[in-house]
Amino acid sequence: MQVASVVDYLIGTEPPVLLSSHENEIMKITDSEERNRKFLTILQQRVGVNAFEQFLEALKYTQQYDVRNTIFDRSKEQINLKYSDKNQDDNGAAFVRATKTTLPSGAKTDDTLQNQAPSTSSTIPSQPNNDVWQQKLET
């Protein structure tokens, strides 16, 4: 990966994904593998600035299509593994084991829950489906 051009792009984003202090820290490393590792470590720590999406845009802008495509391919593989039927190889044995577990004291059973009004809020955010992930990867 050509880190210098990606770093330049990410410094120029608004808000900046990387700061000039990050650039100095990354570019002082002479070994390219170590420089890439340092770059990715810093990028991973930059939360709240859409770092990953901006990184993909930087790869596109700097015409590093091979790297970008490799990331897309591996991401697709991970998504497919997570949601594939390959996880069902145990023929439902995991489900049977899960249904035979005892509930902790105070846990509500289906009968109790059916008599309650449905909740309109959830503390658990919904997870994007495979189509949403695919759209994110293609942009």
For the chain, give every domain's residue range.
1-63
- The answer to pTM > 0.85 is no
| Least confident window among 31-40, 56-65, 93-102, 129-138 | 93-102
| Residue pointed to by tokens 């902790």 | 104
Q: How many CA atoms lie within 13 A of 10 on its CB side?
A: 29
**Tens-place pLDDT, residues 41-90:** 999 998 888 898 999 999 999 999 999 999 888 887 777 777 765 555 55
Q: How many CA atoms lie within 13 A of 84 on its CB side?
A: 9
Which band of pLDDT confidence, cut at 50, 70 and 90, is reported for residue 106?
A: low
Alpha-helical segments (H) within the chain: 3-11, 20-27, 32-45, 51-61, 65-83, 93-99, 110-114, 130-138
